[in-house]
Amino acid sequence: MINPVPRVRFAPSPTGYLHVGGLRTALYNYLFAKNNNGKFILRIEDTDRNRYVEGAVENLIKTLKWVGLNYDEGPDNGGEYGPYYQSQRLDIYKAHAKILLEQGNAYRCFCTPERLTLLREEQQKVKLQGKYDKHCLHLTHEEVEQKLSEKILFVVRLNVPSEKIISFDDVIREHVEFASETVDDQVLIKSDGYPTYHLANVVDDHLMKITHVIRGEEWLSSTPKHVLLYDYFGWVRPVFAHLPLLLNADKSKLSKRQGDVAVEDYRDKGFLKEALINFVALLGWNAGDDREYYKLNELEKYFSLDRVNKSGAVFNVEKLSWLNFEHLRQKPVEEVLVLLKDELNKSKFSGKTYKDEYLIQVIASMRERVSFVKEYIEKSPYFFEEPDEYDPDVVKKRWKEDSPILLKTLAGSFSLLNENASKEEFEQALHKTAEESNSAVGKLIHPLRLAVSGMGVGPGVYDLLVILGRDEVIRRINTAIEKINI
């Protein structure tokens, strides 16, 4: 009987970075567990020593914790079904392989790499599916013992039955069938004694009482092998759910050739974890409406496997950027303040000190204009340093012959204001100067913005003046009058 408390797992291989497809698998497992009061387990499938990357496990754990996917059991917080590194469970796999060998549901294969290569080439010539020909299944007991005594290297293979339909149900794919002739006699234990994914994941899922196996569609063709193993051991199968592929805009499979695929790449580019989680959740799932903005706790509430699509999901970076804008716009100012300080410490302004009150004003003025925290600096550097150059196109369009004299007069009007003048007071002074100079307000506003910011666009000009303050504004006006020549 399946454990009434749902238990799901994310079981990555430590081969480098965390792929966004891996993040989606982890997220869907996490959301399913949370939605059903279940347990979410992290297991490290590190039995392929050729692909193992030093530091990958630590990076993986760090990334999962960064996005907020906290697991109930795992390599760094334990649990009653550990160890959670497959490389520490080798004796368990060998014991289960021995059971299969004794049953006749697995066999030792002593074929050399050269024979296997020749077999594969011959099959390719006649356009047959590449699969093992069961040569070693027909070795006698004496022949096997002789080879073992000679210490000839061998692997343990799954004995797939002939002329059988292997079927299973899938939450997303519904009823799935494979003819056993299309299923290879998969290697279960390699010649180095390490298990392959197929044996290890089935044994671990059973022993760790995993109730639902939620993974990518690329594993669908391997599932018949796993189903056979469950049946051979006499174990109850878990519920399977195979998630749709992630696609590039041209509908090809998502790959690094066409863009970033690592979660770490998007983090380093300044994407918020909230936006990334929101975006990845929608790659193959929706709640049945047009809603697109979700926080993690809302996803936990609404997620269900029966709303996952069969068709591939297109990875649209423009949509991710839009979600980043929305999450940044709605994030509490206190949180944005912490993020902005971190960006400043990574920028050329590192070492400079800005009062929280000042930065909060900057955030308020630019909130509707930025999609990334770093854009508070990139789009409005004038809040952090005096402009040392002025946009030539804006100079050509906005800086007229009479601009210097008008701005000089305006600076004089501003000097009569209080040090902490309000928006209204700046505005009144500007309008009064325009009126007394018999000039249009625009003939003052546009060169004024250019003088204090070096740009022609930005937040409201009076917001800009209040944030910078009277004295800094006057100083920048005088500097611009000296520097700008037309």
Q: Domain check: are 99 and 239 in the same one?
A: yes
| Residue-level pLDDT at 257 | 60
Residue type, 12: P
Structure-block tokens of residue 184: 């290879």
| Residue-level pLDDT at 48 | 85
Q: Domain check: are 365 and 444 in the same one?
A: no
Tally Cβ neighbours within 10 Å of residue 231.
Answer: 12
Q: What is the CATH number of the domain that holds 369?
A: 1.10.8
Q: Domain check: are 107 and 147 in the same one?
A: yes
Structure-block tokens of residue 454: 């070096």
Which tens digits make up the pLDDT trace of 183-196? 999 999 999 999 99
Structure-block tokens of residue 198: 């197929």
φ, ψ at 150 (rounded to 5°):
-85, 0
Q: Domain check: are 426 and 437 in the same one?
A: yes
| Residue-level pLDDT at 430 | 98
| Residue-level pLDDT at 182 | 95
Which tens digits make up the pLDDT trace of 278-289? 999 999 999 989
**Residue 9 maps to a domain:** no
Range of the domain at 175: 90-243
**Residue 73 maps to a domain:** no
Which residues is 85 bridged to in the sheet? 44
Cα–Cα distance, 244 to 285 (Å, whole number): 10
β-bridge pairing 239-243 and 106-109: unpaired
Which stretches of the chain score pLDDT less than 50? 1-2
Q: Compute and round to an integer the Cα radius of gyration of the chain.
A: 32
| Residue-level pLDDT at 486 | 65
Q: Domain check: are 275 and 301 in the same one?
A: yes
Which residues is 106 bridged to in the sheet? 158
**Residue 51 maps to a domain:** no
- In sequence order, which ranges of 291-366 are alpha helices (DSSP H)? 296-302, 317-330, 333-346, 356-366
Question: Exposure string (b/e) for 304-340, b if CB count within 10 Å is 16 or more?
Answer: ebeebeeebbebeeebbbbbbbbbbeebeeeebbebb
Overall number of domains in the chain: 4
**Residue 70 maps to a domain:** no
> Where in the sequence numbering do the catalytic residues fall?
256
**337 within 8 A of 359, measured Cβ to Cβ:** yes
Q: Domain check: are 215 and 236 in the same one?
A: yes
Q: Domain check: are 146 and 219 in the same one?
A: yes
Q: What is the CATH number of the domain that holds 444?
A: 1.10.10.350
